[in-house]
Structure 1
Amino acid sequence: MPQQPSRWRLNRQKLFRNVHGLFLTRRRQSIALLLIAFMVLFILWTAGFFSWSPFTSSKVVIILATNQGGGVKRWKKPNEWATERSSIENKRRYARRWNYELAVKDCSEKKKYSHEFRESWQRIDVIKQTMRQYPKAEWFWWLDLNTYIMEPQISLDEHIFNHLDSVYRTVEYFNVLNFTVDIPYVDYEQPINMLITQDCGGFNLGSFLIRRSDWTDRLLDFWWDPAMYEQKHMEWEHAEQDALEYLYSQHAWIRSSVGFLPLRKINSFPPGACSQYAGNPLFFYDQKDRDFVVNMAGCDFGRDCYLEMEAYKELDQLLHKKKFWLF
């Protein structure tokens, strides 16, 4: 007859099974907890709670100036909140897709004290602050709240930075302000440090790019000069836009590093903006051409920013056939 295992051996085997089972259970629990933690972090990151990306150090920062405090002279209406949320989420998705940084800047406090802070000039100060906040970034893309990126599958490298050699260096092709084209001592061999567009009213600052450089530091200091503001603010209806146009018209060193993009490259208009140019293909968003960004400039005056934002948001979803899932 076969020898029966001793009670001591049976107890040892039972203890081993219990310990092994407990080890496996704790191991499974640890793996499950790690998976849950990873999923939570992934959800928070994709939702935009973290601006840092573990995969790259971004050379681009998108600056979006908002008024998140609820209002300055009055409380914001529901449609205004919705427009702000849609605009922020649009830039957040784009920044996440290309590992850019998104700096959402609340300007409500600045606007509260606009008699001291010079309301509408705050974008210059915001740019200076953001450059200090992201010391390793190279390019900073300012976007007004009433803009919407329509082609998020295109990176800024593909759309702009890889083609800087084809950027216009003078205003000859479109000179709505009748600038003097030829002024002495302009060195167009200098690198481009600012990319802007022009519309029916002059320089458009709803969407423009500026590069970190000594030239940029100097420009921002000139542009933000209180003495210039105090002397000219009663004459300059468009505030910092008029100031930049004046500096460009007077200083060769500023012209040497400014490049001009066609308006529709980063600033396509909806119907109703620049109405005196209605139908002009230089200005208005064209779905067939899949323009990169639409800028609903002036929608606060006689138009509806919410309806325009929702219309382009729906068009964006239609063009890209987006489906919204958890992951």
Structure 2
Amino acid sequence: MHLAMPARKSSNPPPYATRSTRFPMLRRSRVQAIVLCACAVGAVIFILSQIVGGSERIPSGTPPVVVVTVLDPDGYSKDYINNIKENRMEYAKKHGYATFFPTVTDYDLNGSPNSWARVPAIRHALTKFPHSTYMWYLDQNSLIMNPELTVEGHIMNPKRLEGLMIRDQSIVPPDSVIKTFGHLKGNQVDFVLTQDKDGLAQGSFIIRRGEWSKFFLDTWFDPLYRSYSFQKADTHALEHIVQWHPTILSKLGLIPQRIMNAYSKEDAAGDGIYKDGDLVIRFAGCDKGGRDCAAEAEPFSKQWKTAFRVQ
């Protein structure tokens, strides 16, 4: 019995067909041309977007300003708190702004004074209104008195701000060696506030949204500063970081007190006592020394409602 043997392969197999390199070269050149065209189109679109509207697209209907007031209802009547909220809401409605009313109990202050709540409240507002340009913090014991003045026009317009800024001014009067910068332009300022006779007065201040504002608020709210026994808590912590951090001082615009933080009584800086037509009146210190915030605010409450035509 014979077994079939496998066929032997030829020792001279036919040569493989030669592959043409013409078509792959054409394909590569075509791909390169397409990639180059796509890059060129992308570059043109990017440049046009920068010229027309910048890199950020702000959704329609975004309020340009958010008025933030931390409420501490303890020791105040419901009518008083409602009056404060209504005051902000009427002003915001007139100008297309938004309002934000957290309470001191919304934030874990780890035993620090309640005044510290303003810092996380602004940080909270930046998260809640991620496209709004300005956050205006205004203390509870104050009223907006002039409905015609806007944050953008009355304060934050760069040219207006350059005319308002107090340059080469001691941060802590009368003789602090650290002074406000003398060369800042209005569009470089991200933090605007005033002074009273004792120093920085953060009962009314404005912050421009951006990466710097987050850095600043996180620095101010650092647990080290909250645990340190500053005599005036967050006020002295603010004065400390402004004087020792040039990155913060370089964004600070100090303006006259009556522009957005006029006081009803003493403790103002120079010409800082409220006069008719001013944007704000603050009853600074009315919660101490036997004073009555509601009684002090009552005549001005009638006045702002007349100005705003609120029935």
Check whether TM > 0.5: yes
- The alpha carbon displacement at 1:99 in A equals 0.6
Instruction: Tell me how far apart the structure 1 counterparts of residues 221 and 109 of structure 2 sit (CA, whole Å).
Output: 15
1:270-318 C-alpha deviation (Å, 9 max, x unpaired): 13x32xx7xx86121112xx11100111011232111111111123345
Contact 2:201–2:235 (8 Å) recurs in 1 = yes
Does 2:154 correspond to 1:166?
no
Letter in 2 for 1:58: P
Corresponding position of 1:180? 177
* TM-score normalised according to structure 2 size: 0.72
Letter in 1 for 2:173: V
Corresponding position of 1:214? 211
- Which of 1 and 2 has greater Rg? 2
Contact 1:187–1:253 (8 Å) recurs in 2 = no
Letter in 2 for 1:296: F
Instruction: Tell me how far apart the structure 1 counterparts of residues 310 and 117 of structure 2 sit (CA, whole Å).
Output: 38
Instruction: Tell me how far apart the structure 2 counterparts of residues 93 and 282 of structure 1 sit (CA, whole Å).
Output: 28
Letter in 2 for 1:224: F
Paired residue for 2:271, among 282, 294, 303?
Answer: 282
% identical equivalent positions:
26
- The alpha carbon displacement at 1:180 in A equals 1.2
Alignment of 1:166-315 (within 5 A): 166-168=163-165, 170-172=167-169, 176-181=173-178, 188=184, 191-230=188-227, 233-234=228-229, 236-271=230-265, 273-274=266-267, 282-287=271-276, 290-301=277-288, 302-315=290-303
Instruction: Tell me how far apart the structure 2 counterparts of residues 213 and 108 of structure 1 sit (CA, whole Å).
Output: 26
Provide closer, same or farther for how the CA distance between residues 171 and 267 of structure 1 changes in structure 2, counting only shifts above 3 A. farther
Does 2:122 correspond to 1:127?
yes
Paired residue for 1:66, among 51, 61, 71?
Answer: 71
* TM-score normalised according to structure 1 size: 0.69
Letter in 2 for 1:197: T
Instruction: Tell me how far apart the structure 2 counterparts of residues 121 and 229 of structure 1 sit (CA, whole Å).
Output: 8
Corresponding position of 2:102? 105
Contact 2:171–2:239 (8 Å) recurs in 1 = no
Instruction: Tell me how far apart the structure 2 counterparts of residues 249 and 174 of structure 1 sit (CA, whole Å).
Output: 7
Contact 1:169–1:188 (8 Å) recurs in 2 = no
Instruction: Tell me how far apart the structure 2 counterparts of residues 304 and 216 of structure 1 sit (CA, whole Å).
Output: 35
Provide closer, same or farther for how the CA distance between residues 221 and 175 of structure 1 changes in structure 2, counting only shifts above 3 A. closer
- The alpha carbon displacement at 1:258 in A equals 0.2
1:42-70 C-alpha deviation (Å, 9 max, x unpaired): xxxxxxxxxxxx983211111011035xx
Provide closer, same or farther for how the CA distance between residues 314 and 217 of structure 1 changes in structure 2, counting only shifts above 3 A. same
1:112-136 C-alpha deviation (Å, 9 max, x unpaired): x655455321211111111011111
Please, which runs of 5 or more residues in structure 1 have no aligned partner? 1-53
Contact 2:136–2:204 (8 Å) recurs in 1 = yes
**Coordinate RMSD, CA, aligned:** 2.7
